Structure 1
């Protein structure tokens, strides 16, 4: 037995270098980072984290405190049992929101600890497939002018990206169409281009938008409507004529089952920091594989590169727009369209704890 001797939550509000916006969340000036450091009786450490787009971080921190009380002294190697203990122990007030975000961070920390103890990078501990993972730049750029959008795109190309996602969901559909047209003309016909509506539309509006985007050969249209409508997503898949990515706002394996089995998604898109952690993410990826679907990801690219590197049915890793790179020692390496899963033990993320602590002073 490897007993958990210490569980230490952390909560930090990190200003963004520039104000970001999308069609649903409005302007975002900061994101909130919740961390958890777990140690075992031998002194080995694992680190997990989750984040929000500016609210609820305090609630996540409170739940991490509850998890700490529940899990101290438990066997750190019994990750599946501890996941269920956390899920069911907090179930009545949970099943989503801050509860599952906190459980996700804790689960990531347990997997990091396990991989550190084994002396293996996380992607190899999870079975290993290929450390070179196709990656795209996830732009948060709805309010940029077309010229600024193209300049941002050129910057991403210069950083090694060979796939790009842009935001849609402006007031008038014709504005979205013209922006997508400009991007397609700028990038060329065969360049992987995705668009993200951030749940903006009704089902009928989403079908209309998807049909308008058909001439541009999109890799996918992401989150066309609210996540609470799997049947509506299935209509969009059937009638819209473009592939659909969805899942960043789904919070469990069982929610993904409704989408995948119901034909409501082409590219399942879990976020390891809010779907239940590594334990849940890998189950969702394998469920997708059983339905012959490619899995993608949302956010937390420094962790998720390991998970997709262990999945034969991975498609693209999202490199997220939040500025966490300033507070970690070794940011994600991207070369010619692929992200490289590191060979350091664990997930290899080493936070600048002093720099983060300065944000709270």
Structure 2
């Protein structure tokens, strides 16, 4: 019975080579990374992490150090569902979202990593195992890039092996978005998978207008057209806009996804393993989507999420996120001719360079 003997949080501010931007979060010169290192009595270690757009990392760190620690020490690390429920209900009254669920996500990820390592299996096979090659797109955070730089960024991503591209929309004038999407479609050619992401910019009426304006450009999906709280409005966008809709990166629970899916408010459910509660609820969300015959996609944390999508038959595209950790891990995600390849290493296979991270400790 592998008893948990220690939990070591880490809190870092990771600078970005280029300041990123979208329609609602503004400029992002850095992101904040929170890590968890769990160890059992045999000395095995599991690692998890979560991240934010540059704020709230200190709150997550405090929750891990104060509120989560005493709920885990001495517990059986194999009983992941039991531990998930213990942490969830232990924080429910003051939590149920925000920094608490991000902290829980990192812990749950570490528990699954630990279990897979103890069993000597890659995470994707432990979770069921379907196909280690997952279609992958490059998720640009590029709303304010001039058009020439946007197209140059796209060419760089094509050289890296990507065969699907996502760009940001949500500029001040819809006509500007239409011009940029039109240029991107012309640059990529007909039939090339192209997604656009509005980051919650619009009301339902504005989103419907935008979706209709984008229809001639054969988009794979329009992502997050409205705020996550407007379930009825997003269902209207699905019905009246004429484009598939991806959403879910700002939903925090399985039950949030249930509400959105049953309302007909999403075509591509899009959980983020670092903020939906971890691997445990991510897999439940993926199976819920399967029950509704919906393809599941993902947001962020591509080095871990490739395992989760590799485990389910209804996976669509993995997002390779702009907040990448390539400079701080031993083996970044492998992209081969449009597919991300889930590694065969035990666990999720991420080996952090802890010495390099120490230099950017927050």
With normalisation by structure 1, the TM-score equals: 0.99
CA deviation map 1:75-100 (0-9, x unaligned)? 00000000000000000110100000
Equivalent residue, structure 1, for 2:182: 181
Equivalent residue, structure 2, for 1:42: 42
- Residues 24-103 of structure 1: matches in 2 within 5 Å? 24-65=24-65, 66-103=67-104
Q: Would you say how many aligned residue pairs link Structure 1 and Structure 2?
A: 361
CA deviation map 1:197-239 (0-9, x unaligned)? 0000011000000000001110000000100011111000000
Structure 2 residue runs without a partner (length 5+): none
Equivalent residue, structure 2, for 1:301: 302
Equivalent residue, structure 2, for 1:292: 293
TM-superposed deviation, 1:69: 1.6
Establish whether residue 283 from structure 1 lines up as the match of residue 264 from structure 2: no
Equivalent residue, structure 2, for 1:313: 314
TM-superposed deviation, 1:360: 2.7
TM-superposed deviation, 1:323: 3.5
TM-superposed deviation, 1:146: 1.1
- Does the CA contact (< 8 Å) of 1:16 and 1:323 recur in 2? no
CA deviation map 1:315-339 (0-9, x unaligned)? 0000000141100000000010000
Equivalent residue, structure 2, for 1:338: 339
Matched position secondary structure for 1:359? coil
Equivalent residue, structure 1, for 2:248: 247
- Does the CA contact (< 8 Å) of 1:105 and 1:273 recur in 2? yes
Matched position secondary structure for 1:103? helix
User: Equivalents in 2 of 1:297, 1:303: separation in Å?
Assistant: 11
- Does the CA contact (< 8 Å) of 1:17 and 1:323 recur in 2? no
Structure 1 stretches of 4+ with a deviation exceeding 3 A read: none
Equivalent residue, structure 2, for 1:138: 139
TM-superposed deviation, 1:70: 1.3
Equivalent residue, structure 1, for 2:351: 350
TM-superposed deviation, 1:145: 1.1
CA RMSD of aligned residues (A): 0.7
Establish whether residue 6 from structure 1 lines up as the match of residue 29 from structure 2: no
User: Equivalents in 1 of 2:41, 2:90: separation in Å?
Assistant: 24
With normalisation by structure 2, the TM-score equals: 0.99
- Does the CA contact (< 8 Å) of 1:49 and 1:108 recur in 2? yes
- Does the CA contact (< 8 Å) of 1:135 and 1:318 recur in 2? yes
Matched position secondary structure for 2:359? helix
CA deviation map 1:42-88 (0-9, x unaligned)? 11110000000000000001111111121100000000000000000
Structure 1 residue runs without a partner (length 5+): none
TM-superposed deviation, 1:277: 0.2
Establish whether residue 327 from structure 1 lines up as the match of residue 332 from structure 2: no
